[in-house]
Structure 1
């Protein structure tokens, strides 16, 4: 049982739930719940790729995580590096095989875009300033494009994909500030290492403001209704405004960790807001 729990932690259960929830919300927005088989296949692909990416990242980042993430399964020696590699390969294969049963566009997105970027990120892009952040944000945002393709229209969910990309990019930048000590020892060249944590915090704050301004656009265009704007304001905008104050006024590793976790919650709330706003207009 402990071994299975360690495997689950390796794959990041919250991220798995977020991936599953994204596909479910995509199906809801596209009115595709009657197509249960397609829905299940899409969930298998997304959950497999999310788990595989996290396991592979931990395999590659073993030395870094002994400093930045000592409570993860590999640094705690609950699992071996070989086990992490094997589970990542198995999950990548499972996700790739499952994607073949979907629409060709979805298969192409999964195997031709998300899979290679996820692998290259861990091996080559992680330490590049902002490029690594964009790579992670790309794979997260593409969950909506993939889901849209699986349900017949890849561009139907472009707006939530863009918003999710923005969330993920900012969150990854904040995580880089949190991980600056271990990343520096690993000789990575992340943005906070090159320009300092204070500059990175100011950039993160500016990007949060830009994201909040951009989030109003779908409402102004009539894409989403008032429920979207109300829930987004209360459940996303206000927490992120508080995060800006903490980024600037309370610089500390724990602060950055708390903000990164808060942004993950805000992503859940943002998805619900989009679903509610679109359902009113349907």
Structure 2
């Protein structure tokens, strides 16, 4: 594969675009077809943003990747760290500039905020444990808010965005518990500061907050009856909250499954 495509992790950008399409459908339903120009621009923004974020990551982690990811273009010597830096800031800048063509100030603000957070995370917050966890969680939620910004309607996506952000905090903490030994000396994570058990309690709280939020549409009538599938996702999230103490790795992986099921429930709730 081309060295730049490997730097950008193009497959992640494609997955991001697919995720954006799903989020836009949740935000606008079948009316999303009326917004096809903005959807195309939004897709390019996501791909540029992902490419920029991954490039910036490879610039910052150039030294670490010599042992952690030796097959990446920078540690292999195919690209210089400076080139990765230029691609990183360039990709994020392109995303921000393109957002102006959406003519939705909310969407532009979201992209700008996400770009600032991405830079802050890579440069400073990644090593700061829980603050970095929160940053990643917010960026996850902003994907869904960006979809709402593209179509000018946040009423269908804000709950999903908040749910995704909350459970992402739980997932990130679970990963930190799992990686505690390997992170020593390079990061100051929550488990290192308060211990594995206390960190597990914090992760469990965030895992449970998501399911609590998911019940709001039942009371507001926001979605159709098939939204009830979200109960399956809620059950998995609650199981993750219990599992995080004994098997944080499995807890983190199952949380991904639960998020996928939750996404399906939102799609069904809008479609039917």
The TM-score range, normalised by the shorter chain, is 0.7 to 0.9
Offset of residue 51 of structure 1: 2.9
Q: Aligned residue for 2:132? A: 132
Task: Show the counterpart of 1:278.
Answer: 270
Aligned to 2:188: 189
Q: Secondary structure at the match of 2:72?
A: coil
Q: Which runs of structure 2 are paired with 1:89-100 in the superposition (5 Å)?
A: 89-100=89-100
Give, in angstroms, the shift of residue 221 of structure 1: 2.7
Does structure 1 retain, via aligned residues, the 8 Å contact 2:130–2:173? yes
What's the offset of the Cα at 1:63?
A: 4.2
CA distance in 2, matches of 1:178, 1:146: 31
SS in 1 for 2:193: helix
Query: Which whole-Å CA distance do the structure 1 matches of 2:147 and 2:154 have between them?
Result: 7
Give the drift of 1:162: 1.0
Q: How does 1:1-282 map to 2 (within 5 A)?
A: 1=1, 3=3, 6-9=6-9, 13-14=11-12, 16-29=13-26, 30=28, 31-64=31-64, 69-70=68-69, 73=72, 77=76, 80=79, 81-102=81-102, 103-111=104-112, 113-154=113-154, 156-186=156-186, 188-230=187-229, 232-234=230-232, 236-250=233-247, 255-256=248-249, 258-280=250-272
Contact 2:57 2:122 in 1 (8 A): yes
Q: For 2:18 and 2:129, locate their aligned partners in 1 and report how far apart those are by CA, in whole Å.
A: 30
For the structure 1 residues 167 and 17, does the alpha-carbon distance in structure 2 shift closer, same or farther, using more than 3 Å as the test? farther
TM-score under structure 2 normalisation? 0.84
User: Are the structure 2 counterparts of residues 233 and 58 from structure 1 closer, same or farther at C-alpha, using a change threshold of 3 Å?
Assistant: farther
Quote the offset at 1:99 in angstroms: 0.8
CA distance in 2, matches of 1:262, 1:62: 31
5+ residue gaps in structure 1?
none
RMSD of aligned Cα (Å): 2.7
- Cα distance, 1:156 vs structure 2: 5.0
TM-score, with structure 1 as normaliser: 0.81
Cα offset, 1:274, TM superposition = 0.8
| Structure 2: runs of 5 or more not aligned | none
CA distance in 2, matches of 1:192, 1:18: 31
Does the C-alpha gap of structure 1 residues 193 and 66 become closer, same or farther in structure 2, counting only changes over 3 Å?
A: farther
Asked whether the 8 Å contact 2:176–2:191 carries over to 1, the reply is: yes
